[in-house]
């Protein structure tokens, strides 16, 4: 049986929090480039940014970065669960189920519906 002291426990929590935090810079760069280069003032200055193919790529970049930020609570739930369980994948699946059930339960108690 392993005995953990407080410092070891806090270090394991810190390591598990680094899993989702490591994705944030990439998501921020995607979102920043995707949104910035679609600005009408920048497109007026650099007309090649208005081409159809590049517009689609920039929208894709913006949506990809936005998807990470929109689902940040879920990513933290899964990242912490997997990090604290010694990289066992079932913990990630359990974290997703727990997160979704928690959201539905809180929404039910508060009377929040999708409509």
Q: Give the span between the Cα atoms of 81 and 13, in whole angstroms.
A: 10
Mean pLDDT of the chain: 85
Per-residue pLDDT at 33: 93
Per-residue pLDDT at 2: 62
Residues 76, 66, single domain; the answer is no
Per-residue pLDDT at 32: 95
Supply the pTM of this predicted model. 0.71
Per-residue pLDDT at 111: 81
If pLDDT is split at 50, 70 and 90, which confidence band does 25 have? very high
In tens, the pLDDT along 45-103 reads 988 888 888 998 898 889 888 888 988 988 888 888 888 887 787 888 788 888 888 88
Residues 12, 40, single domain; the answer is yes
Per-residue pLDDT at 50: 86
Q: C-alpha angle 95/84/67, rounded to 5°?
A: 45
H-assigned helices in 22-88: 24-36, 40-45, 52-70, 72-84
Residues 57, 113, single domain; the answer is no
Domain count, the chain: 2
Residues 42, 88, single domain; the answer is no
């Amino acid at each position: 049986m392993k005995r953990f002291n407080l410092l070891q426990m806090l270090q394991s929590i810190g390591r598990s929090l680094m899993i989702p935090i490591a994705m944030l810079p990439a998501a921020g760069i995607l979102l920043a480039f995707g949104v910035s280069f679609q600005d009408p003032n920048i497109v007026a200055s650099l007309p090649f940014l208005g081409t159809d193919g590049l517009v689609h790529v920039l929208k894709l970049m913006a949506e990809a970065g936005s998807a990470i930020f929109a689902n940040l609570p879920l990513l933290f739930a899964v990242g912490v669960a997997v990090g604290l369980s010694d990289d066992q994948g079932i913990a990630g699946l359990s974290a997703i189920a727990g997160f979704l059930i928690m959201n539905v339960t809180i929404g039910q108690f508060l009377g929040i519906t999708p409509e």
